[in-house]
Structure 1
């Protein structure tokens, strides 16, 4: 009986290939390429964007919370200060001719949240975009895991030049599925904790602190777990060589 030929890139579903390329490209730009020999600490630090990346993700919210504490009846001023902080980071990147994508994304998110706050007149509505983001990201990771097309696997397949061949390897398929579930749990966990607090009318400063605690402190360890898991699946990647695709 003739054996099936190995899966070629041109045989892959076009949608899967496009998603794989997009995810893999984003991971590579973030310094998450398992084909490199970077240390786990370096990878986690790169994924967070270093000191600048941490400041860009944390400072706008901190400024918003502090401004509300100082000027309790000046909601518009807290929004202006928050958006202004995000804008400064974007302008600095542009002035230094660096990629403004991360800072620009943060600016847009802060701007949308600020616009919603001004529209409703409720400071706590600053967190609504974050709720939506967590639901969307969590759903995407969970659906990909349940459908056996893990987003983690798609990204790694692109980076390791094996396309979707990882789906024929039970060990990889299982690992990527559980990694996707872990990422889904992170996003759903944030929503499960913060949304009830928002509904209960918990003060903005407390909710903001919870959001900060459930941000980078949870994101960084999961990046490390993901990186170490992928490197274990591709032990030759650290030496700069691409791992051969194992048979099923």
Structure 2
């Protein structure tokens, strides 16, 4: 889940917990002290987890190339090869520049899992269109599982965002002693879940309709390829903007308040 910075990743000591999530400017202030508010902790943790504009490109390019190649040539293996080659090229550039390979590696893992699903579809006798549809299935499963996991963690009052706070304070569950912190982290966790829910609600019916033959597989593949990009970073940024708005409203101490 991700936010634009500069595309270059700072080390944990170089990332300001007050870094802007919208300007894309790189922070140069070193923060060695542990943030004293939950809002600062979450802002800092989100900043470290996001790939910046460059991360957005590295995530989108392989999918765009796969979709474009398939739509133009209807050659599944070529489409997969082109997407993998693009990801490998981006990885080599990262290695030469000695910058983080995390986001390119994530893209490669996603392509690899997609290829596995394509192979499974082929082994079951599916034609190239069925195999191309299978390529998008892991993303749908991932978003569904992630949405359920985030929602359950918030409902059970063990919101996932709370563990971001615990990872900084060194006490993984101490944040649960303060109901105000639990409430804030629950709201933020729900906001993280929204993009996943939207992707599932929009994309799954298209995938199922194509699988059932209700719409042309080629049409569905094109739509799914575009939606994977459109509902990726833009939707994630909208959710993160909402989180930043919530984080800017209050100042919740990291340490539980004394009775």
Length-normalised TM-score, structure 2: 0.71
The structure with the greater share of residues assigned to helix is 1
| Shift of residue 63, structure 1, vs aligned partner | 0.1
User: Quick one: structure 1 residues 35 and 75, their matched pair in 2 at CA, closer, same or farther if it must change by over 3 Å?
Assistant: closer
User: Quick one: structure 1 residues 230 and 167, their matched pair in 2 at CA, closer, same or farther if it must change by over 3 Å?
Assistant: farther
1:100 match: 101
| Shift of residue 127, structure 1, vs aligned partner | 0.7
Q: Which runs of 5+ in 2 are unaligned?
A: 1-8, 25-42, 122-127
Q: Does 1:205 align with 2:222?
A: yes
Kindly tell me the number of residue pairs found equivalent between the two proteins. Answer: 213
* Inter-partner Cα distance in structure 2 for 1:80 and 1:243: 48
Which deviations, in whole Å up to 9, do the C-alpha atoms of 1:205-224 show, x marking residues without a partner? 11211222211111012122
Which of residues 152, 161, 164 is equivalent to 1:152? 161
| Shift of residue 50, structure 1, vs aligned partner | 2.2
* Inter-partner Cα distance in structure 2 for 1:48 and 1:162: 24
| Shift of residue 193, structure 1, vs aligned partner | 1.3
CA RMSD of superposed structures (Å): 2.9
Which of residues 213, 233, 257 is equivalent to 1:246? 257
Q: Does 1:176 align with 2:193?
A: no
* Contact 2:166–2:173, Cα closer than 8 Å, also in 1: yes
Which of residues 184, 187, 206 is equivalent to 2:196? 187
2:69 match: 67
1:84 match: 85
Higher relative contact order (CA 8 A, sep 6+): 1
Q: Which runs of 5+ in 1 are unaligned?
A: 1-27, 236-241
User: Quick one: structure 1 residues 194 and 56, their matched pair in 2 at CA, closer, same or farther if it must change by over 3 Å?
Assistant: same
Displaced runs of 4 or more, over 6 A = 28-31, 43-46
1:37 match: 18
* Inter-partner Cα distance in structure 2 for 1:142 and 1:69: 36
| Shift of residue 228, structure 1, vs aligned partner | 3.8
2:243 match: 226
| Shift of residue 189, structure 1, vs aligned partner | 2.1
